[in-house]
Every structure is written in structure tokens, then in C-alpha cells.
Amino acid sequence: MSINRGEPEVLLTPAEVASMFRVDPKTVTRWAKAGKLSSIRTLGGHRRYRESEVHTLLENSGMIIPEEDLPFYKEKHPDA
């Protein structure tokens, strides 16, 4: 595994990932526990997900959702 010393990787909360897939945040946590999606733990023990990995999972699942249907995600990430 290589270490990226360039731009910091964007990390998403379970709620942000859930809004992208239109599922409950607990479902996202179950996916992480099952190995479908890897997570990073914050110092406080909260899960965060790599944006790049989430987008890959979206593409592979055929669940691409138009950005205009993701108001929560767009509010958090205006550059997206």
C-alpha cells in the first residue's frame, strides 16, 4: 500500500455515504463490517470512508445517483 503525501484524501461520514446510496447509516456500517467497504476510524472511534472507494462502489453497483438528488452531500462538498 502506498502512502499519498499529496492532497489529503476526502473522507465521508456514514450519513454522507448513506445519502449517496439512499440507505440507512447503519447499513453502511454493516457493509464495512462485512468487508464490502473499508473504513478508517477516527481517534474518537467513529468510522470514515474514502470518497474514492465510495464512488467506485457506486459505479460498480449501478447506483449512480445524479448530484442534484444529493442535497446533503452537495452541502458538505460544494466542489463535488
Euclidean distance between CA atoms 17 and 80, whole angstroms: 14
The predicted structure's pLDDT at residue 72: 54
Q: Is the pLDDT of residue 5 over 90?
A: no
> Based on C-alpha coordinates, what's the Rg of the chain?
13
CATH number of the domain residue 26 falls in: 1.10.1660.10
Least Cα distance to 70 among 80, 59, 62, 61 occurs for 80
Query: Is residue 54 a part of any domain in this protein?
Result: yes
Residues 42 and 22: their CA atoms lie apart, in Å, by 24
In a domain, 1, yes or no: no
pLDDT at residue 59, as a whole number: 85
In a domain, 30, yes or no: yes
Q: What's the domain count of the chain? A: 1
Q: State the residue range of the domain holding 30.
A: 11-76
Question: What tens digit of pLDDT does each residue of 20-66 get?
Answer: 999 999 999 999 999 999 999 999 999 999 999 998 998 888 766 55
pLDDT of residue 51: 94
Whether 6 is covered by a domain: the verdict is no
Query: Backbone phi, then psi, for 11, in 5-degree steps?
Result: -115, 140
Quote the pLDDT of residue 77.
Answer: 58
At residue 9, does pLDDT exceed 60?
yes
Q: Decide if 17 contacts 39 (C-beta within 8 A).
A: no
